[in-house]
């Protein structure tokens, strides 16, 4: 509190770590306007920042967000050599059938698994902050929400195409 008072005197506002949401990247992607002719920049300039280790070599991190600005998902694939392959998509749902945050998380996980299968990857460790999606895709929890059942069924088809798939829950701080 003392530092906050001292910083306010010089017009600097301190924000605690707890107020920063874990899905800040997905929030940002959802807020971007979509233009058909826009080129996609796949550069990942801070690749040394995102370091995740895996026993099988390949890792996938996924996240998604649904808010008043829209829906956005992001996936980061990390190769055994440390190469980073980012993908991000802004989703469009109709106003009559809006998506929930869990649906968007499922979409993010599905995008990541589809991408890895396209690359021929059959063993991978999956990291995500959605305990619901990870536990349901692992089979620990049943999918009771009717809206999530089609997503879960498709995710099960994708999971069946892998030789080894491990899940790690990364809780939001």
| DSSP per-residue letters across 67-121 | ETTEEEEEEEEE-TT--EEEEEEEE---SSSPPPHHHHHHHHHHHHHHHHHHTT-
Domains and their CATH numbers in the chain: 51-173 (3.30.420.10)
What is the distance between the alpha carbons of residues 73 and 9, in angstroms, rounded to a whole number? 39
Q: What is the pTM of this model?
A: 0.66
Question: pLDDT tens track of the chain, all 173 residues?
Answer: 666 666 666 766 656 555 445 556 666 666 666 665 656 555 655 554 444 444 458 999 999 988 877 889 999 999 998 889 999 898 887 777 778 889 999 999 999 999 999 999 999 999 998 989 999 988 888 988 999 999 999 999 999 999 999 999 888 76
């Amino acid at each position: 509190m003392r530092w906050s008072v001292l910083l306010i005197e010089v017009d600097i506002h301190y924000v605690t770590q707890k107020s920063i949401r874990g899905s800040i990247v997905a929030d940002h992607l959802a807020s971007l306007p979509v233009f058909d002719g826009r080129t996609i920049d796949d550069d990942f300039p801070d690749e040394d920042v995102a370091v995740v280790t895996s026993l099988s070599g390949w890792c996938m991190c996924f996240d998604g967000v649904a808010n008043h600005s829209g829906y956005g998902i992001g996936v980061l694939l990390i190769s055994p050599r440390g190469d980073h392959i980012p993908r991000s998509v802004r989703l469009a749902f109709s106003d009559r059938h809006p998506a929930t945050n869990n649906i968007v998380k499922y979409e993010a996980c599905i995008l990541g698994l589809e991408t890895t299968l396209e690359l021929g990857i059959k063993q991978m460790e999956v990291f995500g902050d959605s305990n619901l999606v990870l536990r349901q895709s692992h089979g620990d929890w049943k999918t009771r929400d009717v809206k999530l059942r089609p997503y879960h069924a498709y995710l099960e088809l994708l999971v069946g195409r892998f030789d080894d798939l491990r899940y790690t829950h990364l809780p939001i701080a």
